[in-house]
Amino acid sequence: MKQNKRNGFTLVELLAVIVVLGIISIIVIPQVTKTIETAEKETFKSTAMNVVRAADYEFKRLQMVGAPDSDIVFTFIDGVETTNITGAKLDYEGEKIVNGTVRINTLGKISMAIYNGTWCVQKKYDDSKIDLTESIKEDCILTEPTSPILKDGMIPVRWDGTKLVKADIYGNWYNYDNKEWANVVLVNEATRNSYNGANVGTSINEMDVLAYLVWIPRYKYKLFNADAKLVSATEIDIVFESSLTSKVTGSQDGDYLTHPAFTFGDDELYGFWIGKFETTGDETLPTIKPNITSLRNQNIMTMFTTLQKFNNKTIYGLSSTTDSHMLKNTEWGAVAYLTNSKYGKGSEVWKNPSSDYITGCSGSVVIDTASSGCTFAYNTPNGLEASTTGNIYGVYDMSGGSFEAVMGGMYNSADNTQINIQNTGFDQALIDGTTMSKYINKYNYGETLNDQDAYNRKILGDATGETRGWYDDNVTFIHNTYSWFYRGGQNGNVNAGIFSMSPGDGSADLRYSSRVSIPSK
């Protein structure tokens, strides 16, 4: 009798094979992926080292012909090399970095290769410009904050527990995981060279300081209230990113969005420096210092012009191309969001209650009543509560103090073509012109100030509609009567806070101050 011949697998056998293959994939695929990632990282390190060695050669050549007084930056985008110095070019063996940067700092005597905002390879030099050390970062993690860009005249600083000292930019200068944001100072011309050449740990004399600045690194954040509903405060999910990667353009809750503060006109920024305190000094010589009264009673145009004076190389050490400007509303938002992330204080910033408008002050509770003088200075335990980090490394006066005018104005009609200049002092053609577009956030026209239609006119990331209702801060939106934003509230305002917004007409007033921003691209 002829037996039946089977020509295939049974369903049970087929399922068994699929299960076995699934188990194998669970075990093997992660290992293969890890091996590929390790190989890619090692390939990058090798390539980066070649680039730094080529940069070393270029560094020495430029020293022979007269080095420039600023960094030389070579950028690779999709394998194409670009540079900001005519005639300088890196030639080296091996593959080009697909997306990365090589920076030759002729003043700090260092060349480095940076990938996605964090250095992987660096080479240091001694005072005679002879090779000193060469090092590879063991783990090129791509989610670290972008390294602060030190511009001419900036002195990196830390607090050693009792005083301000010069920081080691290769060591313990900042740590955003520990809520220690990078700080620098600008000093007067007479002492600048001395501090530039000083050893790490050298004390900084407060009398020499003209301005304190804090680094806000580029990041994207997860949208949490894109529809501008009334919500309670929550921790904002922030991921640091590089200006060399494509912007993320999410628009719905759960999406990531590269914060708009890091797009400055046509430039994508590594980050920006913000005044640590409200602006002090006077219209001729503005400063940024603690424990003195803020500079007030200027219309917005005068504020804007005053803060551009930080672009003076002789006085402040910054070059004419630094592009210091009056803080935009989105830049205020970037600091506020970083404050409410795991990298910032993560809770309500205490109010500055000084009715004398003394910078860096705090009261004895979160929202204290206005009082003369300065109850607690910025470097006291209570004073630290008024910082965006809850420690001395953050930004101050963002709650209370004076109302801070920002560059955020509304159009004067529904056609959204001309900004409502009101009493700002701006010329209409200037404020609407292309040269001013990167310095101002422009808002759609509206006639309401505290309804859903008003909050829908927000810009994502500006800490207005998205953070509506947080900490019971004031939430009055700009409108046709008062078309310019003022942030932070005033010392006598019970609804003051870092998420507070108030409308104004741009006029000069003893209650109004401003703050500087310095972009780094």
pLDDT at 130: 47
Site of tokens 């929202």: 367
pLDDT at 73: 60
pLDDT at 129: 46
Is the pLDDT reported for residue 189 higher than 90?
Answer: yes
Query: For 370-411, where are the E strands, in sequence order?
Result: 403-410
pLDDT at 66: 54
The answer to whether residues 439 and 405 touch, using CB atoms and an 8 Å cutoff, is no
Q: 188 vs 245, which has greater pLDDT?
A: 188
Q: Which segment of 2-6, 120-124, 164-168 scores lowest on mean pLDDT?
A: 2-6
- Tell me the mean pLDDT in the region 297-302: 98
Cα 34–Cα 239–Cα 100 angle in degrees, nearest 5: 65
pLDDT at 461: 98
Neighbours of 28 (CB within 10 A): 10
Enumerate the domain spans of the chain: 40-136, 148-521
The answer to whether residues 175 and 393 touch, using CB atoms and an 8 Å cutoff, is no
pLDDT at 413: 97
pLDDT at 293: 98
Is the pLDDT reported for residue 427 higher than 80?
Answer: yes
Beta-carbon contacts of 393 under 8 Å, excluding residues fewer than 6 positions away, are: 159, 174, 179, 180, 181, 182, 183, 214, 387
- Tell me the mean pLDDT in the region 405-409: 98
Q: 267 vs 41, which has greater pLDDT?
A: 267
Confidence of residue 295 (pLDDT cuts 50, 70, 90): very high
Q: Which amino acid is at 279?
A: T
Encoding tokens for residue 271? 């980050």
Is the pLDDT reported for residue 142 higher than 50?
Answer: no
Confidence of residue 57 (pLDDT cuts 50, 70, 90): low
- Tell me the mean pLDDT in the region 215-232: 96
Cα 70–Cα 334–Cα 382 angle in degrees, nearest 5: 100
Q: Which amino acid is at 224?
A: F
For the chain, counts of helices (H) and of strands (E): 8, 25
Confidence of residue 320 (pLDDT cuts 50, 70, 90): confident
Confidence of residue 169 (pLDDT cuts 50, 70, 90): confident
3-state secondary structure of 471: helix
pLDDT at 101: 57
- Tell me the mean pLDDT in the region 98-125: 53
- Tell me the mean pLDDT in the region 301-323: 94
Encoding tokens for residue 13? 């056998």
Mean residue pLDDT across the chain: 84
Q: 367 vs 12, which has greater pLDDT?
A: 367
For 348, phi then psi, to 5°, come to: -65, 130
pLDDT at 192: 95
**From CA 198, how far away is CA 193, in angstroms rounded?**
8
pLDDT at 141: 41
Report which listed range, 36-40, 202-206, 246-250, is most confident.
202-206
Is the pLDDT reported for residue 119 higher than 60?
Answer: no
Is the pLDDT reported for residue 251 higher than 50?
Answer: yes
Confidence of residue 96 (pLDDT cuts 50, 70, 90): very low
pLDDT at 223: 97
Site of tokens 């209230």: 225
User: Taking the model in full, what pTM does it have?
Assistant: 0.77
Q: Give every strand in the sheet of 164-166, ordered side by side.
A: 164-166, 154-159, 183-187, 209-217, 271-275, 516-520, 325-326
Is the pLDDT reported for residue 179 higher than 90?
Answer: yes
**From CA 51, how far away is CA 121, in angstroms rounded?**
9
339 sits in which H/E element: helix 329-339
| pLDDT, tens digit, 9 for 90 and up, residues 362-388 | 999 999 999 999 999 999 999 999 999
